[in-house]
Chains A and B, each alone.
Chain A
């Protein structure tokens, strides 16, 4: 059979496929998970991913940008799969999840440092579960004989004695906003952000009553409307620096977002350096390269961008 290339879009997914006689490459974008941020489009080495602004809903709510993948440019390398902070893209080979760039160590993975010390969890506390803006946390209780229950009150006293709390988190879909950590009454959760950076809104430039950034922000609480001036402000504590807001902001430079650091597994990769250049800045790349001891590579980036001033 000759090579077949396919692109299919439904309400739930966008699918790209290479069907060869002996192999099948598939990229699936889960539209339910995608928040229309800019991470994948910036990281894609083939510039195959584009974002398209969407019209407002009938209720006047802004919708997040739509991600489109160009079948002619995509090479199914899986970098989008690796970098998506929301775990919305999956690349498979013959049906199995396989990201060649990870297997061959030619692209790092994002590091999601989420620690849960469930021994300290109070029984029947669901604060983290309730707090998670993306509904990624499930809390349940395990009896001594391994039975899983939601509610301890239904159990006998005997059974209640040996109860263990289990907190399961869909890690691969977690952008690490840290809301759960802050909402946890016992300090059980420890979360480190994946992306570090700086976001600011110049409210003077904001149009009156504009809520576009707020409408699309997937992290409840990262953006809020101030009662004093009626404009949207940032709570940097929870922002994951995904950039979904930046894409929809209608005014030039009303919202600025800069990523400075990305937690990732240690891998030497040109593709990562380029992605980092676009996700953060060339300065961050030289910093990282110097830290890794790749002085020569760092110099070449500096030369390319003529940016010597490495400020912290």
Chain B
């Protein structure tokens, strides 16, 4: 479709005041641009981005019938959106615009060599024009949005997310794996640092959720599968049988009274029991009883007690539910580590050693002991209790991260104990650091100290049980005194690590979410997109992303709701059209089992069914281009970053004196931004590089490197986001690494000096590193010398030509 119309390219060169014009010879650039093919109009402006500058573009497009526009000015990361809008206002498709970055990449980083800088700027403009000649108009893709949301996990974060969305008027499905919503907060006695009763503040919120007309709670259910994309997710859920008909159950509890069977209550951390037909706790929402068939003996006493209400149905089967939603909020929470595998603390072995969550159930008035803190060994109140911090957390051998809330809940426990039993109980806390860095926390720590709690800084090395008394001997090192201490306590409470919820890996698989080294879900960006999952339309809230206390989880729930509303409030969702497209006539999957693209796509956006050409699910594609580079048949094209466009830039860059140039592929989010920063920071480096911007390093095809060396490039650099987690497309940098790791030794075998092909990782903050890298590479290039490079290239060329010919690319 493209080339029917004769190309008429307009080039606009910006002075940027003296920012560009102070170094570069603008006149020379203007004259040079006029000589470039298909360029029919060239103009320089003092400030192209200002209104008069933009006006000139609009006017020129109309007057000179321009059908491509190149602006040579600052970084596209700065003003590409501005000028796209400008050309579109002039009636041109916004994707028929290209930017040449001659400020950050030339005038700002080569101020002392204006001549060379101007030459480099010429190359950059020439490369932009070359790409512009091949640009194609693209239409922004729009998908309809289903204005409903799914919230996975009904803890305090998920409840707040659901409530906020419901209040905004969106229908919300709240999926809960357990019998009741409420999460861990409903298990707690008091909350720090105010010591208000947890269920008293959460209970009403749970009722609000249960009653809200826009919220449908789907409890005692599992997530089975999710397909589709932002605005259009199809969700399958399996509701497990409670053997009680929810609509008929009044929650009266008469069934529970007649039930003969008791079993350990997980809600009580196995400290107490519950009936085979029961609710986990009295405030459960929905208040529907559940029969645990693992323990029920089917005596049907409950059926008799239920009587005419007829709420019990022993033949209930699992039920599959299908939903359609536009956005998903994941708030699956955390679990508490049970240190059975750590011999040092004797958990599970010594009767009077328990975890903090077990202690929580012990001190809770509604708990199995009615709020009495008693020892399991003799039912007596302990006169000394030792709290041990960082069990599993901040432990290089177990969970290296800090679990965030343990310091505070331990302070809560010691204050509760001291206020309850006064001088009757001696309390010790063994800690590494007391982390009390939020509102009211430090004051609370002070309160604990004033109550006479013994804080001992140091790691516990070992706990022994005194067989006669079942007391515990704690061996530790007091780091402040620098000497070992031994303390005998009646009870030991372990503040164990918060770990990813059981089943997190299943949720990750179903939703295609990534998890960090700690196992928690990864956010899209640690600073600016803390609530977004890398997959569009999916958001994270609460401790599923990392341990969080209650206020933090609530804020995240509300935040995620508002993020989800940005999708749900729209009729249509716009998608950048820089996506991948498969040419089904070239796709190998039709004849052989290939599917490489589907396997390598970081987003699972490609389907490659047997004997079918691979298919890109447009709305799920993020436009990294990894599949394009991976496709062995070159059957995939990335819009706006086509092979032809990139090769045109590459060939243009290496037209003259290629052996003196470093051809650099820079990923948009890290390395290109890092190079921009080198410019804005005015770090000077030699003007040897010719940069090509790609969205992700994963886009860098092997053939690009081969082509560059075939054309005689002095050096080739591929720069990406840092491993392992910085890639903005989850794992594009890893795919690039694997590809280049295979390519480098091959090139060396063919006689290429190893320093001539480099893969580097430069973050957006590493302007200095970028400048140093180019300096170092230039030095190496000069050290090798033109002659040696030329000789190597002579040797390489026929082989590379052959390789590329086979693929029909040369």
Given A20-B270, A104-B259: A1 touches B352 (CB 8 Å cut-off): yes
Q: Is B803 interfacial (CB-CB < 8 Å)? A: no
Residues of A within 8 A of B301 (CB): 104-106, 269
Closest-by-CB residue of B relative to A105 is B301
Q: Is A306 interfacial (CB-CB < 8 Å)? A: no
Chain B positions 271 through 299: 1 when the CB is less than 8 Å from some CB of chain A, otherwise 0: 11100100000000000000000110111
Residues of B within 8 A of A45 (CB): 297-298
Query: Could you tell me if B347 and A2 are in contact, using CB atoms closer than 8 angstroms?
Result: yes
Given A1-B353, A1-B354: A104 touches B368 (CB 8 Å cut-off): no
Chain B nearest CB from A235 CB (Å) reads 36
Query: Could you tell me if A23 and B273 are in contact, using CB atoms closer than 8 angstroms?
Result: yes
Q: Is A237 interfacial (CB-CB < 8 Å)? A: no
Residues of B within 8 A of A104 (CB): 258-260, 301
Residues of B within 8 A of A23 (CB): 262, 272-273
Query: Could you tell me if A106 and B260 are in contact, using CB atoms closer than 8 angstroms?
Result: yes
Q: How far is the CA of A46 from the CA of B276 in the complex (A)?
A: 13
Query: Could you tell me if A2 and B270 are in contact, using CB atoms closer than 8 angstroms?
Result: yes
Closest-by-CB residue of B relative to A24 is B376
Q: How far is the CA of A79 from the CA of B304 in the complex (A)?
A: 20
Q: How far is the CA of A144 from the CA of B273 in the complex (A)?
A: 52
Closest-by-CB residue of B relative to A25 is B262
Q: How far is the CA of A108 from the CA of B272 in the complex (A)?
A: 27
User: Which B residues from 345 to 362 make CB contacts under 8 A with A?
Assistant: 347-348, 351-355, 358, 362
Chain B nearest CB from A40 CB (Å) reads 14
Given A1-B352, A2-B269, A22-B369: A75 touches B295 (CB 8 Å cut-off): yes
Closest-by-CB residue of A relative to B259 is A104
Query: Could you tell me if B299 and A270 are in contact, using CB atoms closer than 8 angstroms?
Result: yes
Range of interface residues on B (Cβ < 8 Å): 35 or more
Q: Is A272 interfacial (CB-CB < 8 Å)? A: yes
Q: Is A107 interfacial (CB-CB < 8 Å)? A: yes
Q: How far is the CA of A269 from the CA of B351 in the complex (A)?
A: 38
Query: Could you tell me if A21 and B362 are in contact, using CB atoms closer than 8 angstroms?
Result: yes
Chain B nearest CB from A252 CB (Å) reads 32
Chain A nearest CB from B244 CB (Å) reads 16
Query: Could you tell me if B261 and A21 are in contact, using CB atoms closer than 8 angstroms?
Result: no
Residues of B within 8 A of A268 (CB): 300, 304
Residues of B within 8 A of A131 (CB): none
Q: Is B425 interfacial (CB-CB < 8 Å)? A: no
Q: Is A101 interfacial (CB-CB < 8 Å)? A: yes
Chain B positions 240 through 274: 1 when the CB is less than 8 Å from some CB of chain A, otherwise 0: 00000000000000000011111110000111110
Q: How far is the CA of A270 from the CA of B301 in the complex (A)?
A: 8
Closest-by-CB residue of B relative to A72 is B294
Q: How far is the CA of A107 from the CA of B296 in the complex (A)?
A: 13
Given A2-B270, A105-B301, A269-B299: A77 touches B358 (CB 8 Å cut-off): no
Query: Could you tell me if B298 and A20 are in contact, using CB atoms closer than 8 angstroms?
Result: no
Query: Could you tell me if A100 and B261 are in contact, using CB atoms closer than 8 angstroms?
Result: yes
Query: Could you tell me if B354 and A271 are in contact, using CB atoms closer than 8 angstroms?
Result: no
Query: Could you tell me if B261 and A20 are in contact, using CB atoms closer than 8 angstroms?
Result: no
Q: How far is the CA of A19 from the CA of B303 in the complex (A)?
A: 30
Q: Is A195 interfacial (CB-CB < 8 Å)? A: no
Query: Could you tell me if A18 and B353 are in contact, using CB atoms closer than 8 angstroms?
Result: no
Residues of B within 8 A of A19 (CB): 376
Closest-by-CB residue of B relative to A270 is B300
Q: Is A303 interfacial (CB-CB < 8 Å)? A: no
Q: Which of A20, A100, A103, A268 has the most CB of B within 10 A?
A: A20
User: Which A residues from 47 to 101 make CB contacts under 8 A with B?
Assistant: 75, 77, 79, 100-101
Residues of A within 8 A of B294 (CB): 75
Q: Is A3 interfacial (CB-CB < 8 Å)? A: yes
Q: How far is the CA of A2 from the CA of B268 in the complex (A)?
A: 10
Closest-by-CB residue of B relative to A79 is B297
Select which of B270, B298, B347 is within 8 A of A3 by beta carbon. Answer: B270
Residues of A within 8 A of B262 (CB): 23, 100
Closest-by-CB residue of B relative to A102 is B260
Q: Is A171 interfacial (CB-CB < 8 Å)? A: no
Residues of A within 8 A of B263 (CB): 75
Q: How far is the CA of A75 from the CA of B294 in the complex (A)?
A: 8
Select which of A21, A46, A100, A274 is within 8 A of B260 by beta carbon. Answer: A100
Closest-by-CB residue of B relative to A107 is B299
Chain B nearest CB from A234 CB (Å) reads 34
Chain B nearest CB from A279 CB (Å) reads 15
Query: Could you tell me if A20 and B260 are in contact, using CB atoms closer than 8 angstroms?
Result: no
Residues of A within 8 A of B376 (CB): 1, 19, 21-22
Q: Which of A22, A269, A271 has the most CB of B within 10 A?
A: A22
Select which of A2, A22, A46, A106 is within 8 A of B272 by beta carbon. Answer: A22
Chain A nearest CB from B310 CB (Å) reads 13
Q: How far is the CA of A1 from the CA of B273 in the complex (A)?
A: 14
Query: Could you tell me if A2 and B354 are in contact, using CB atoms closer than 8 angstroms?
Result: yes
Q: How far is the CA of A131 from the CA of B269 in the complex (A)?
A: 54
Q: How far is the CA of A274 from the CA of B298 in the complex (A)?
A: 9
Q: How far is the CA of A271 from the CA of B300 in the complex (A)?
A: 8
Given A21-B272, A21-B368, A22-B368: A3 touches B264 (CB 8 Å cut-off): yes
User: Which B residues from 657 to 676 make CB contacts under 8 A with A?
Assistant: none
Q: How far is the CA of A311 from the CA of B567 in the complex (A)?
A: 71
Residues of B within 8 A of A2 (CB): 269-271, 338, 347-348, 354-355, 358
Q: How far is the CA of A106 from the CA of B304 in the complex (A)?
A: 11
Q: Is A157 interfacial (CB-CB < 8 Å)? A: no
Query: Could you tell me if A20 and B299 are in contact, using CB atoms closer than 8 angstroms?
Result: no
Chain B positions 296 through 333: 1 when the CB is less than 8 Å from some CB of chain A, otherwise 0: 01111101100000000000000000000000000000
User: Which A residues from 256 to 271 make CB contacts under 8 A with B?
Assistant: 268-271
Chain A positions 1 through 15: 1 when the CB is less than 8 Å from some CB of chain B, otherwise 0: 111100000000000
Residues of A within 8 A of B353 (CB): 1
Q: How far is the CA of A234 from the CA of B351 in the complex (A)?
A: 54
Query: Could you tell me if A77 and B260 are in contact, using CB atoms closer than 8 angstroms?
Result: yes
Residues of A within 8 A of B362 (CB): 21
Residues of B within 8 A of A270 (CB): 298-300, 303
Residues of A within 8 A of B276 (CB): 75
Chain A nearest CB from B62 CB (Å) reads 78
Q: How far is the CA of A124 from the CA of B338 in the complex (A)?
A: 66
Q: How far is the CA of A45 from the CA of B296 in the complex (A)?
A: 8
Closest-by-CB residue of B relative to A93 is B262
Given A20-B273, A75-B295: A1 touches B358 (CB 8 Å cut-off): yes
Query: Could you tell me if A271 and B347 are in contact, using CB atoms closer than 8 angstroms?
Result: no
Q: How far is the CA of A79 from the CA of B297 in the complex (A)?
A: 9
Chain B nearest CB from A28 CB (Å) reads 18
Chain A nearest CB from B303 CB (Å) reads 8
Closest-by-CB residue of A relative to B271 is A21
Residues of B within 8 A of A77 (CB): 260-261, 297
Chain B nearest CB from A35 CB (Å) reads 25
Q: How far is the CA of A74 from the CA of B724 in the complex (A)?
A: 48
Query: Could you tell me if B368 and A75 are in contact, using CB atoms closer than 8 angstroms?
Result: no
Residues of A within 8 A of B261 (CB): 75, 77, 100-101
Closest-by-CB residue of A relative to B351 is A1
Q: How far is the CA of A18 from the CA of B259 in the complex (A)?
A: 19
Select which of A1, A105, A271, A272 is within 8 A of B271 by beta carbon. Answer: A1
Q: Which of A4, A21, A269 has the most CB of B within 10 A?
A: A21
Residues of A within 8 A of B299 (CB): 101, 106-107, 269-272
Closest-by-CB residue of A relative to B338 is A2
Chain A nearest CB from B665 CB (Å) reads 55
Instruction: For the A-B complex with A2-B358, A106-B299 known, give 7 more contacts whose Cβ atoms are closer than 8 Å.
Output: A20-B271, A20-B273, A21-B354, A21-B368, A23-B262, A45-B298, A46-B297
Which 5 residue pairs spanning A and B have beta carbons closest together?
A3-B270, A106-B299, A270-B300, A104-B260, A1-B376
13 CB < 8 A contacts A-B: A1-B358, A2-B269, A2-B348, A19-B376, A20-B273, A20-B368, A23-B272, A23-B273, A46-B295, A79-B297, A100-B260, A106-B299, A269-B300
